[in-house]
Amino acid sequence: MSENHFDIIVAGAGPAGLTAAIYAARGGVRCAVAGGVAPGGQLLETTEIENFPGFPEPTTGPDLMMRMIKQARRLGAQVLQEQLSACDLSARPFTLTVGAKKLTCDSLIIATGARARWLGLESETKYRNKGVSGCATCDGFFYKGKTIAVVGGGDSAAEDALFLTKFAEKVHLVHRRDQLRAAHRLQEKIRANPKVEIVYDHVPEEFLGGDRLETLRLKNVRTGEKKDLAVSGAFIAIGHDPETAVFGDALKKDAEGYLVTDARCATSVEGVYAAGDVMDPHYRQAIVAAGTGCMAAMEALKYLQEKKG
């Protein structure tokens, strides 16, 4: 077989993809990971992690991911720092375009994760990278001593708000309901932090300013009243959408676009498995992603074994 053929290709290099690669490589098959330009997935944008077992002291997302990449490579998986741009599942072996290369595989594990969601306001696009950001870890540093807003009420928003207090003078946490969704422990930390003020029952209506963002106009969802916050930054943390565009309509998806699998991570195409956030709208945790990555790899190995007869 050509050097561009693999028994298993894993698309995505977050905790799901890398765990799948670790298991596939240990299973004795040829395995490549299409990891994108910066392998590591969403955890690269996470700060402190204190709920991944095995780390009694908090670790960071990038540190955890670098360890997983190193581990996968040591066991023999080829972690490619190139983007998956096309995928043909209509013929076997499957063909994938990864960077400039055409790679083929007998089994595919999709672990492409999910991408941050935007509000969809025109003014949000206008001020993107001019005050509006989707990545607190990347851009927080630029807001030393400033007043900023974080939009959302989940773990990401709460975590971002806390992280941003390291730089900002004041953080408005804007949430559309009267209750946060974030984990209890994060809510406690938020409430104990004097720099964070929670603005309940409000949604962003418009981002305003000159060259850069100066004002976030909010609407009260109960009364319809408008309110302006003077902010130089606004971080959007309102959830994620699964990354499935490259697979077109080849695989069954649910109404939200998540890949549909059976209890053993098998998708609607035989030999194609899915793991992690791309198939999990519910838990979306690194440890769950790693768990489903392991399951997908074990199923793919079994599929290859049965195919050989």
CA atoms of 127 and 28, how far apart (whole Å):
49
Q: Which of 119, 135, 287, 298 binds ligand NAP (CB under 6 A)?
A: 119
Among 239, 241, 253, 268, binds ligand NAP (CB under 6 A): 239
Minimum distance between the CB of residue 183 and ligand NAP, rounded to whole angstroms? 6
SS3 296: helix
Query: Is 178 one of the catalytic residues?
Result: no
Interface positions, 53-92, toward ligand NAP (CB under 6 A):
none
Within 8 A by CB and 6+ apart from 50, the residues are: 58, 59
Residues 103-129 as b or e (16 or more Cβ within 10 Å = b): bbbbbbbbbbbbebeebebebbeebee
C-beta separation of 61 from 80 below 8 A: no
Q: Which stretch binds ligand NAP (CB under 6 A): 76-84, 140-148, 154-162, 194-202?
A: 154-162
Nearer to ligand NAP, 26 or 217 (CB): 217
Residue from the set 156, 232, 244, 292 that interacts with ligand NAP by CB under 6 A? 156
First to last CA, the chain: 19
Residue among 237, 301, 302 nearest 42 (CA): 237
Q: How many residues does the chain have?
A: 309
Q: Which is nearer to ligand NAP, 50 or 169 (CB)?
A: 50
Rule CB under 6 A: is residue 305 a binding residue for ligand NAP? no
Q: Which of 7, 31, 87, 139 is catalytic?
A: 139
Member of 5, 73, 240, 253 binding ligand NAP (CB under 6 A): 240
Regarding 288 and contact with ligand NAP (CB under 6 A), the answer is no
Q: Which residue has the tokens 């676009």?
A: 257
Strands (E), 120-271: 132-133, 147-151, 170-174, 196-199, 202-209, 213-220, 226-230, 233-236, 240-242
Residue 12 and residue 47: Cα distance in Å, rounded?
20
Comparing CB distances to ligand NAP, the nearer of 214 and 241 is 241
Which of the ranges 66-74, 253-261, 268-276, 280-288 carries the binding residues for ligand NAP, by CB under 6 A? 280-288
What residues are annotated to the active site? 135, 138-139
| List of residues contacting ligand NAP (CB under 6 A) | 51, 119, 151-157, 159, 176-177, 181, 203, 237-240, 283-285
